[in-house]
A and B are shown apart, each in its own frame.
Chain A
Amino acid sequence: MPEYALGEDDSNGSDDLLDQMLMSTHAELLAAIDTEQAGGHRGVPTTAEDNIATSAAADAVRASRAVPGQRPANKREANGTTNPSSQGPITIGNVHNGTLAIGSHAYAVNHRSSEGRSDQATAQLLEAIRALRADLQRVRHTEQTAGLDAVLAATEEEIVATGHTRAGHREYLRAVLTASQTSVSALASAAAVAHLLEMG
């Protein structure tokens, strides 16, 4: 009897069938997660600083830190046998596309973009999104165009704030754009956004 049956004793075999279905799904889920993650992996965080880089509140958190991003540099520090803060490093944070650290135990954290899009492609997408939003103001206002504009605004905001878009946002924008095709098919800017999303 499977361990997680926890006392169930079903002699007609339905427990076995259920277990097979659960375990098969369990394995399939992991494979599907791996496939999905391979397409848009966020990357292994190297420091707490690196982790919060994806948060909308990252700047606020960084600003509140006297010594940001202190990762134990070696095993001794990880075990608490030294006190990194007593070394008095000076760290300059909030450098776009990276972090500069100065000090005896300081280290530089490279903010990796997990999206793999070039700056130029992102800039083109931002430009196209803005053009489409401007065009949307000139077409008949419907629930569909309002929804599309909201998603465009969110994507624009993300690009401005972080310098890139997440795969999830791009996928969603693509889906909303497709759903709004009847309203925006005449707009060249919509085609441009769709094209850039496809390229991404």
Chain B
Amino acid sequence: MSEMSAPADQQRGQMPQPSRDKLSLLPEERLRNDFDAFYVAEKRHVIRFLLWAGARPWEAEDIAYEALMRLLPDRWSTIEHPRAWLRKVTCRSWWRQHERNREDTADALPDLPGGLSPVTEIELSEQAQRVLHAVKQLPAMQRAVMAFLLDGADTTEIAGALNMSEDAVRANASRARRRLKEILRFESGESNA
């Protein structure tokens, strides 16, 4: 899998670009030699990626942190594409955790927002909440594909990360977008948005 963030962002010339942290635009060599810089630059992006994939803020923070932890001490210096690796690993980790939570219906303990994470809630505008809510109504695979796409991954990268064909990626993306348009138009009462 090629490194996904910067190259894909550069290709997306016509798009309104999300604001990127300056650190993530530092030369790759700098980030490769500075784990702290990589950590600061990437963790927030991975948290956002997981939020799109359907995780709650504290879950996303914990999963991102644990994945970054796995890069230390040695993996960090040898792994070829740490950004792509992070997204692949965190996405799968989130799926596993989500499945466990779904199975554990008899859990008597309170669901503690925060868990091991300092991130509790994030405050969003009404529109952003509506968009996130709409994305959460998508099937897990479509959410994951959208999360990768919004993070700048291309079809080939997503296919590799999610272990599916490129056609399947396109189909999931297409269905996700169609469904999102239906949901958002329905919720906002717009018929010809």
Q: Are B16 and A32 interface neighbours, CB within 8 A?
A: no
Bound CA–CA A80/B155 (angstroms): 34
Interface segment among B80-88, B92-100, B122-130, B136-144: the answer is B122-130
Query: Which A1-15 residues have a C-beta within 8 angstroms of B?
Result: 1-8, 10, 12-15
CB within 8 Å for A78 and B77 given contacts A7-B170, A29-B122, A167-B114: yes
Bound CA–CA A56/B112 (angstroms): 15
Note all chain A residues with C-beta closer than 8 A to B15.
2-3, 19, 23
With beta carbons under 8 angstroms apart, the residue of B39, B73, B110, B181 that contacts A71 is B73
Note all chain A residues with C-beta closer than 8 A to B78.
80
Q: Are B117 and A166 interface neighbours, CB within 8 A?
A: yes
Bound CA–CA A5/B149 (angstroms): 9
B189 adjacent to chain A (CB < 8 Å): no
A60 adjacent to chain B (CB < 8 Å): no
CB proximity of A20 to chain B, nearest CB, Å:
6
CB within 8 Å for A8 and B177 given contacts A23-B16, A26-B150, A29-B124: yes
Q: Are B174 and A8 interface neighbours, CB within 8 A?
A: yes
Of chain B, the residue at the smallest CB distance from A84 is B73
Note all chain B residues with C-beta closer than 8 A to A40.
118-120
Q: Are B120 and A167 interface neighbours, CB within 8 A?
A: yes
Interface size class of B (residues with CB under 8 A): 35 or more
Residues of B contacting A: mostly:
helix
Q: Are A168 and B125 interface neighbours, CB within 8 A?
A: no
Query: Which B16-73 residues have a C-beta within 8 angstroms of A?
Result: 16-19, 21, 33, 35-36, 39-40, 44-45, 47-48, 51-52, 57-58, 61, 65, 68-69, 72-73
A199 adjacent to chain B (CB < 8 Å): no
Interface segment among A41-49, A96-104, A185-193: the answer is A41-49
Bound CA–CA A47/B68 (angstroms): 11
25 residue pairs A–B, Cβ–Cβ below 8 Å: A2-B14, A3-B15, A8-B174, A22-B146, A22-B150, A23-B15, A24-B128, A29-B52, A29-B122, A29-B132, A30-B19, A33-B44, A33-B57, A33-B119, A36-B122, A44-B40, A45-B39, A71-B73, A72-B74, A114-B118, A151-B110, A151-B112, A166-B117, A169-B114, A171-B114
Using A42-B118, A56-B116 as known contacts, list a sample of 16 further A-B pairs with CB atoms less than 8 Å apart, ordered by residue number in A.
A3-B149, A4-B173, A6-B174, A12-B192, A14-B185, A22-B131, A25-B131, A27-B19, A30-B44, A31-B19, A33-B47, A35-B122, A40-B118, A115-B118, A154-B110, A168-B115
